[in-house]
Amino acid sequence: MMIHVNGKLVPESEATVSVFDHGLLYGDGVFEGIRSYNGRVFLLREHVKRLYQSAQAINLTIPLTPEEMCRAVIETCRANNCLNGYIRLVITRGVGNLGLNPYQCPKPGVIIIAATIQLYPAEFYEKGLRIITVGTVRNHPEALNPNIKSLNYLNNILAKIEAINCGVQEAVMLNHIGYVCEATGDNIFVVNGQTLITPPGWCGCLVGITRDTVMKLAAANGYTVRESVMTRYDLYNAEEIFLTGTAAELVPVVEIDKRKIGAGVPGPATRQLAQLFRDYAAQPESGEPIV
């Protein structure tokens, strides 16, 4: 595998960062996860735009223009023949001293990995996930805004640990006032009849690109789509629930906190929207060509 590190494609064994990089020392940096489908990088420009927005929010200047970043992603995919895979962009604050001061890091680091990923086993897409709500509260938006895709994912990891310790794959996190926020790495949707509901961004969830794509596809296919605050009561009484994310795509949920959701199997709306998403991802206009 060839990894893009600071402008050069190098073998995986040579892709290293300094122990003094503040991305390692303090989680000081940002990232994006992107998919490639059928030889195209899915919604590349949208992902790169969000990367730069995250960097702007933490006062980090990326040493490439957005166009240069897009070209570097495509070149890395091409070098690894990553026609159907997963791309991770990582921007670190760069090498500095052992203090917190980010202005002591003169040159940010740029890493691009083009590989594969399987977030959940295939059986969960067919049979659905069992998940729980957890005690770990999502970061307050004015502490570390979840729309910043930072390298500090400890909040999410602590919630993930709770889920794994309870024998399930995923967890739903609530915000600081008890409203449903998101899963540890995915957005959450409730379906009731022809209405699709997801928490608003101000609740503390990431405004995901897959989330927005599913919302647009649903609206174009007869669903009423709205953002609304929800409690666990709303989850327990939903007809259908599913999660969305770049790595997860769209995965059904059939049980939360031992409460069966709907009939306890992936529902018709979830299956329809999953197919609509797959069809959209396969269209040439949905991404930038690799070859």
Residues marked active site are found at: 149
3-state secondary structure of 29: strand
3-state secondary structure of 143: coil
Instruction: For residue 185, count CB atoms less than 10 angstroms from its CB and return exposed for 0-12, middle for 13-18, buried for 19 or more.
Output: buried
Q: Are 101 and 89 in contact (CB under 8 A)?
A: no
CA distance 146 to 139: 7
Strands (E), 139-277: 170-174, 180-183, 187-192, 195-198, 224-227, 240-245, 249-256, 259-260
Q: Are 234 and 265 in contact (CB under 8 A)?
A: no
CA distance 32 to 169: 22
Task: Name the helix (H) or strand (E) containing 51.
Answer: helix 44-57
Give start and end residues of each alpha helix (H) in 116-203.
122-127, 154-165
- 193 in the Ramachandran plot: left (φ > 0), alpha (ψ -120 to 50) or beta? left
How many CB atoms sit inside 10 A of residue 32's CB?
24
Task: Enter the DSSP assignment of 261.
Answer: P
Distance, CA of 74 to chain centre: 20
